[in-house]
């Protein structure tokens, strides 16, 4: 068993909590922190980095360098792993966990860095070694490691964004979701999500959001949406938290139906955040948005007809 610190700078990201829960489930002692402070000398530090700005942050760069100089080990994961060579070049950690990390990270912690381990990148001298991609991780996992002060944070008004499904059918050129999680939707079981919602509430979370690219794709199969699955999800989440404390803001303009909009009004705070991106259909086409300005306008009108606020 290892003592492991997971550092998620500034906020407890869902990914950091998820990895914490997976490692705890594998028998490790895990501390989750959002403070950029040094862990015990010689220990194992996992950095969950969600912004390329972290790569340039002097406090993070110093922490990694100093920890390694004190015989510590540093692994970096999270969205920055989309560019593993850049992470290695900027931060020089012991390894980068590339892509979905929950299965890779257990092997990395227990077996160490090896070119036989899929889904990692590391430096061999000056040469960056990127091993073959790991297969998509199982969507079933233990409860996340939820800190007791989760209620103190606000990410767009929510204590946390809960992962209900992975992947997006979209192909927006600027977006990491389909590149990180793929374009096939993988949905978690409702019972597992609701157990997690209850655990967040028990730890003091006041508001929760649905994450996963486009919320209403929850339950989709073979490119077909399943509005009933999404409506059940919102209803059951609201049953735990209360409808004023649930949001499902991020939705594609082409992933709404009247039933979905009614459910969002009934079971959430009643806001929808469309990724409108541009008022030019030409620009939307260039960025692979998959929607025209006319379709965006129509979606906004439909939301207003259902008494929803649009951002």
Segment interacting with ligand SF4, rule: CB under 6 A, options 68-76, 107-115, 139-147, 171-179: 171-179
Does residue 178 interact with ligand SF4 by CB under 6 A?
Answer: yes
Six-digit token string for 280: 């030019």
Contact 218, 264 (CB under 8 A): no
Does residue 182 interact with ligand SF4 by CB under 6 A?
Answer: no
DSSP alpha helices (H): ranges in the chain?
A: 14-25, 53-56, 58-69, 84-91, 104-111, 177-181, 190-202, 227-241, 258-267, 281-286, 293-305
Does residue 214 interact with ligand SF4 by CB under 6 A?
Answer: yes
Does residue 165 interact with ligand SF4 by CB under 6 A?
Answer: no
Per CB under 6 A, which of residues 16..35 are in contact with ligand SF4?
none
Of 20, 79, 213, 215, the one binding ligand SF4 (CB under 6 A) is 213
Report the 3 state secondary structure along 82-123.
HCHHHHHHHHCCCEEECCCCCCHHHHHHHHCCCCCCCCEEEE
Does residue 168 interact with ligand SF4 by CB under 6 A?
Answer: yes
Segment interacting with ligand SF4, rule: CB under 6 A, options 60-68, 157-165, 168-176, 263-271: 168-176
Per CB under 6 A, which of residues 258..277 are in contact with ligand SF4?
275
207-227 in b/e form (b: 16+ CB < 10 A) is: bbbbbbbbbbbbbbeeeebbb
Nearest residue to 133 (alpha-carbon basis) of 148, 118, 149, 144: 118
Segment interacting with ligand SF4, rule: CB under 6 A, options 115-123, 174-182, 235-243, 296-304: 174-182
Helix-then-strand count for the chain, H and E: 11, 15
Does residue 82 interact with ligand SF4 by CB under 6 A?
Answer: no
Q: Given the structure tokens 């790991």, which residue do they identify?
A: 134
Residue 256 Cβ vs ligand SF4, minimum distance, rounded to whole Å: 13
135 vs 26: CA distance, rounded Å: 19
109 vs 4: CA distance, rounded Å: 9
Residue 177 Cβ vs ligand SF4, minimum distance, rounded to whole Å: 4
Per CB under 6 A, which of residues 100..159 are in contact with ligand SF4?
none
Residue 4 Cβ vs ligand SF4, minimum distance, rounded to whole Å: 30
Does residue 205 interact with ligand SF4 by CB under 6 A?
Answer: no
Residue 214 Cβ vs ligand SF4, minimum distance, rounded to whole Å: 5
Does residue 172 interact with ligand SF4 by CB under 6 A?
Answer: yes
166 vs 48: CA distance, rounded Å: 18
- Contacts with 194 (C-beta within 8 Å, 6 or more apart), sequence order: 236, 237, 240
Of 21, 72, 170, 219, the one binding ligand SF4 (CB under 6 A) is 170
CB nearer to ligand SF4: give 118 or 178: 178
In a 10 Å sphere around its CB, with 0-12 CB exposed, 13-18 middle and 19+ buried, how is residue 41 labelled? exposed
CB nearer to ligand SF4: give 146 or 233: 233
Of 55, 113, 175, 194, the one binding ligand SF4 (CB under 6 A) is 175
**Residues engaged in binding ligand SF4 (CB under 6 A):** 168, 170, 172, 175, 177-178, 213-214, 252, 275
């Amino acid at each position: 068993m290892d003592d492991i610190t997971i550092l998620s700078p500034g906020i407890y990201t869902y990914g950091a909590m998820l990895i914490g829960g997976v490692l705890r489930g594998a028998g490790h002692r895990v501390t989750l922190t959002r403070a950029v402070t040094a862990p015990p000398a010689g220990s194992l530090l996992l950095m969950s980095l969600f912004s390329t700005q972290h790569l340039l942050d002097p406090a993070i760069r110093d922490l990694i360098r100093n920890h390694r100089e004190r015989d510590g080990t540093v692994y970096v994961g999270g969205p920055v792993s989309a560019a593993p060579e850049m992470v290695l070049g900027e931060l020089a950690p012991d390894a980068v966990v590339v892509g979905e990390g929950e299965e890779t990270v257990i092997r990395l912690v227990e077996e160490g860095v090896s070119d036989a381990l899929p889904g990692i990148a590391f430096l061999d001298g000056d040469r960056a070694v990127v091993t073959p991609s790991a297969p998509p991780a199982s969507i079933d996992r233990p409860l996340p490691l939820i800190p007791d002060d989760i209620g103190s944070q606000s990410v767009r008004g929510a204590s946390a964004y809960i992962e209900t499904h992975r992947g997006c059918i979209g192909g927006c050129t600027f977006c990491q979701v389909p590149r990180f999680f793929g374009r096939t939707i993988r949905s978690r079981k409702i019972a597992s999500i609701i157990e997690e919602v209850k655990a967040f509430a028990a730890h003091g979370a006041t508001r929760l959001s649905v994450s996963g690219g486009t919320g209403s794709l929850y339950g989709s199969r073979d490119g077909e949406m399943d509005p009933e699955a999404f409506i059940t999800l919102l209803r059951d989440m609201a049953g735990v938290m209360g409808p004023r404390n649930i949001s499902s803001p991020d939705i594609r303009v082409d992933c709404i139906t009247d039933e979905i909009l009614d459910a969002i009004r009934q079971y959430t705070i009643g806001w929808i955040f469309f990724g409108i991106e541009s008022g030019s259909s030409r620009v939307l086409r260039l960025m692979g948005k998959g929607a025209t300005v006319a379709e965006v306008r129509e979606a906004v009108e439909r939301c207003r007809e259902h008494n929803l606020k649009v951002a």
